[in-house]
Amino acid sequence: MQIHTLDKAQLINEVQLGNNLNHAVEGGRRADFALMLAMLSPDHLETIPVDALPKPGKTEPELRAYFELQDPQPLSTTEHCYDNGAAQAKAFHSSGIADARLLHELQPTALNFPPQGTKGMPEEVYHNLSGHERRMLPPKEDATIKASPQDLYLSLIHAKRFAEMYQTA
């Protein structure tokens, strides 16, 4: 019976002690301070404050649709970025900076134009490689296999015939 009352008397955090813990430190009452610390719960899951999770709000695409905003500026190039960039350059040369800014706000171009055809490497590194080293690089895109079951069957027959020829020789 006494064990259950001790379980109920256990404190979860120091806020429940009020100013008693501070007064014990200031007064030099080590026994009271030690007793109050011993009464605190050792379970860290009880002492960690847990707030209720906020209700999920609207996502960014929902808010963009609600406020009728355009898509955000892309981080990397798409197929339309080069055309948009050329139109902005033409507008700048023909009409000035105001038209170029207007076109940029209406159709934003990408923030990053990575080099193309360098297999994901920086240009200075790729162009510093020899032709042999460039050929040895793995392709950046996965090459899809253009084979049919008939072609596979024929290639298996050829492989079998070559294996038979080299085993007997």
Query: Radius of gyration of the chain from Cα atoms?
Result: 36
- Res 87: pLDDT: 92
CA atoms within 13 A on the CB side of 68: 0
- Structure letter (DSSP) for residue 28: T
Residue 4 above 60 pLDDT?
no
Q: Which of 34-43, 49-58, 101-110, 142-151: highest mean pLDDT?
A: 101-110
pLDDT tens-digit series, residues 110-160 = 888 888 888 878 888 888 988 888 888 887 665 566 767 778 888 888 899
What pLDDT digit, counting tens, does each position of 68-115 carry? Answer: 988 888 888 888 888 888 999 999 999 999 999 999 888 888 888 888
Structure tokens at 121: 């490497």
Helix (H) or strand (E) holding 152: helix 149-168
pTM, full prediction: 0.40
3-class DSSP state of 112: strand
